[in-house]
Amino acid sequence: MTIADDINPISPMGLTLAAYQEHCTAVGIGRGKAKEAYKAILCDGQMESLPAKIEMPAVVTRQEEPGDEGITIKFVQRLPNPEHRLADRGIDFDDIESVIIPMIGRSKRKTHTLCVSSQVGCALGCDFCETAQMGLIRSLTAAEIVAQWWAAKFIEGVHIDNIVFMGMGEPMDNLDEVLLAIECLTDHNGANIPMASITISTVGRVDGLERIKELVQVRGWKRLGLALSLNASNDEVRSKLMPINKKWNMQALQDILLELREVRGGRKIMIEYVLIPGVNDADEHAIELAAWMQPFSKDPTREKGKGHGGLLNIIPYNPRRDSPWPAPTEEQTDQFVTRLMKLGLFVNRRRTKGRDSMAACGQLGTAEIRKRKFVPMTSNNQGLDAK
Ligand code: SF4
C-alpha cells in the first residue's frame, strides 16, 4: 500500500521540520520520509510530495512598479474566510497583500525584501495608514504568513533575502502566530531565512516588546530584527496620529527599547518616522525627536566610537486614499533630514517605492476589502484603552 492510499496529506506550511515530523510520526510516517517531503515543498517549491501537500491561495492581483533599484511587486492572495462573516454581502474571502521590494546596497549587491502581512486589516486605527481604513477582519495563521513567502519565492520566482513584518496588521496583535511563522521561516531544513534578516515592526505594544525581550535571550532568537514606528516627536502629536500612544506613551517606549538594547547586546533598533507635512515636520519636532533619540546614541554596550543603538529612518508620507495630508516635497524632506543630522543623529532617508501602485509603506489595503464592515477587536487586544 502506498502513502497516498492510506494517509491524508499533511501540509507543512507554518510548521518547523520537527513539528512536521511529529505530525507524521503520529500517523505512522517515518521521520526520514517526512523530512524528504518537507524539503520538497519548502526548498524545491513543489506543491505535492506525499505525505506533504499544500493548497496555495490564488494570487488574484499583481502590480509592478519599476524604480531605480528594480521592480517593486505587490501581489494579493485570496484566502477563504473561515467564518464567512460577510457571506451575506457576497464576500466570503480575505485578500492579503504582500510586497517584494528590490534594494541595491552599498556593496552594489541587489537584494529583495518581502514585506508580509500579519493580519487582514488592522484594529489600531493609525490616522495616516491605509490599512486602518479597513478595520480588522481577522488575524492570519502562521501557515498563511509563510504562504506569502512561498508565493514570493516560487510563484513570483524572486529569491527573498529579508522579511519585514510591515504589511497589513500589527504583528504584536497576532504575536503567537507571527513567532510560529518566524520559527518556520528560519528552519534550515526549509525556508532557511537567517534570523538577522527578519524584522518585526510594531507601533509600540509594550506588552509585546516585553515578550520579545524574554525571547531574544533564548538561543536562536537573539538576532531577530526590531523596528518601532514612532512617527511623532511628542505625545500630543503621537496620540492624535496613533491611538495606541494613549496606552503606551513615548517614555514607556523609550524605556522598553533601552531594556531591549541591553539584552540584545547593542543591536540596532530601527526607529521609523513617517514625515507628514504640517503635522510632524517642523523645526521644533526635529529638536524634540533628537532629544528622544539621544539615549540611543550613547550605547554603553558598544566599543567607544563605534556604532550607535538606534537608527532613524525618515519615510516621506505616502498619502492613503482620501488623505487630509499630501506627501512632503523633496525640499521639505531634505530640510528635516538635514536639521536632524545637524543635531547629531544618524539618519537614513528611505526612498519611496511602489507609491503609484499603493504598495508603499502605510498604503496596504485594497479598495475591495475596504468595503467591509469594521470588526474592531482581536481576542488578544481586548481592553486596549487606546482604541
Ligand atoms: S500603521 Fe500598522 S498598526 Fe497602525 S493602523 Fe496601519 S497597519 Fe495598523
Domain hosting residue 125, numbered range: 56-380
* Judgement on whether residues 12 and 111 belong to the same structural domain of the protein: no
| Residue 271: per-residue pLDDT | 93
| Residue 8: per-residue pLDDT | 81
State whether the beta carbon of 361 lies less than 6 angstroms from ligand 1: no
The three cell numbers of residue 319 are 498619502
Residue 2, pLDDT > 80, answer no
| C-alpha of residue 166 to centroid of ligand 1, in Å | 9
| C-alpha of residue 138 to centroid of ligand 1, in Å | 14
* Residue 387 in domain: no
| Residue 319: per-residue pLDDT | 86
* Judgement on whether residues 222 and 309 belong to the same structural domain of the protein: yes
Residue 384, pLDDT > 80, answer no
* Judgement on whether residues 66 and 112 belong to the same structural domain of the protein: yes
* Residue 80 in domain: yes
State whether the beta carbon of 200 lies less than 6 angstroms from ligand 1: no
299 within 8 A of 266, measured Cβ to Cβ: yes
126, 166, 202: which to mutate for ligand 1, most atoms within 8 A of CB?
Answer: 126
* Residue 180 in domain: yes
pLDDT in tens, 182-229: 999 999 999 999 999 999 999 999 999 999 999 999 989 999 999 999
* Residue 385 in domain: no
Catalytic member of 24, 126, 184, 361: 361
Q: Select from 61, 143, 140 the least CA-distant residue to 99.
A: 61
Share of the chain above pLDDT 70, in %: 83
CA dist 269 and 257 (Å) reads: 8
Question: If pLDDT is split at 50, 70 and 90, which confidence band does 245 have?
Answer: very high
Question: If pLDDT is split at 50, 70 and 90, which confidence band does 242 have?
Answer: very high
CA dist 384 and 106 (Å) reads: 42
| Residue 371: per-residue pLDDT | 46
The three cell numbers of residue 342 are 545637524
Residue 141, pLDDT > 80, answer yes
State whether the beta carbon of 130 lies less than 6 angstroms from ligand 1: no
**Cis-peptide, bond into residue 319, ω within 30° of zero:** no
Q: How many CB atoms lie within 10 A of CB 298?
A: 9
97, 117, 120, 122: which to mutate for ligand 1, most atoms within 8 A of CB?
Answer: 122
169 within 8 A of 18, measured Cβ to Cβ: no
| C-alpha of residue 213 to centroid of ligand 1, in Å | 22
* Residue 386 in domain: no
* Residue 322 in domain: yes
* Judgement on whether residues 249 and 285 belong to the same structural domain of the protein: yes
- Report the alpha-carbon angle 144-145-149, nearest 5: 110
* Judgement on whether residues 34 and 103 belong to the same structural domain of the protein: no
- Report the alpha-carbon angle 193-197-201, nearest 5: 120
* Judgement on whether residues 9 and 150 belong to the same structural domain of the protein: no
The CATH number of whichever domain residue 173 belongs to comes to: 3.20.20.70
100 within 8 A of 109, measured Cβ to Cβ: no
pLDDT in tens, 33-71: 999 999 999 999 999 998 999 999 999 999 999 998 899
* Judgement on whether residues 105 and 196 belong to the same structural domain of the protein: yes
One DSSP character per residue, 290-340 reads: HHHHHHHHS-TTS-TTS--SEEEEEEE--PPTT-SS-PPPHHHHHHHHHHH
| C-alpha of residue 145 to centroid of ligand 1, in Å | 17
* Residue 297 in domain: yes
* Judgement on whether residues 256 and 308 belong to the same structural domain of the protein: yes
State whether the beta carbon of 143 lies less than 6 angstroms from ligand 1: no
State whether the beta carbon of 129 lies less than 6 angstroms from ligand 1: yes
Residue 201, amino acid: S
Residue 250, pLDDT > 60, answer yes
State whether the beta carbon of 203 lies less than 6 angstroms from ligand 1: yes
Q: How many Å from the N-terminal Cα to the C-terminal Cα in the chain?
A: 57
| Residue 169: per-residue pLDDT | 94
Helix 142-150 vs helix 175-185: crossing angle, to nearest 10: 40
* Residue 217 in domain: yes
The three cell numbers of residue 146 are 509563510
Strand, coil or helix: what is 272?
Answer: strand
**Mean of pLDDT values over 70-93:** 78
* Judgement on whether residues 68 and 194 belong to the same structural domain of the protein: yes
One DSSP character per residue, 52-118 reads: EE--PPEEEEEEEEEETTEEEEEEEEEEE-TT-TTGGGT--EEEEEEEEEEEE-TT--EEEEEE--S
117 within 8 A of 96, measured Cβ to Cβ: yes
**Active-site residue flag, 129:** no
| C-alpha of residue 341 to centroid of ligand 1, in Å | 28
CA dihedral 188, 223, 172, 276 (to 10 degrees): -120
Domain count for the chain, please give it: 2
The three cell numbers of residue 54 are 499544500
State whether the beta carbon of 274 lies less than 6 angstroms from ligand 1: no
Helix 283-297 vs helix 330-342: crossing angle, to nearest 10: 50
Question: If pLDDT is split at 50, 70 and 90, which confidence band does 345 have?
Answer: confident
* Judgement on whether residues 160 and 48 belong to the same structural domain of the protein: no
* Judgement on whether residues 165 and 288 belong to the same structural domain of the protein: yes
* Judgement on whether residues 222 and 269 belong to the same structural domain of the protein: yes
Share of the chain above pLDDT 90, in %: 66
Question: Which residue has its alpha carbon closest to ligand 1 atom 4?
Answer: 126
| C-alpha of residue 326 to centroid of ligand 1, in Å | 19
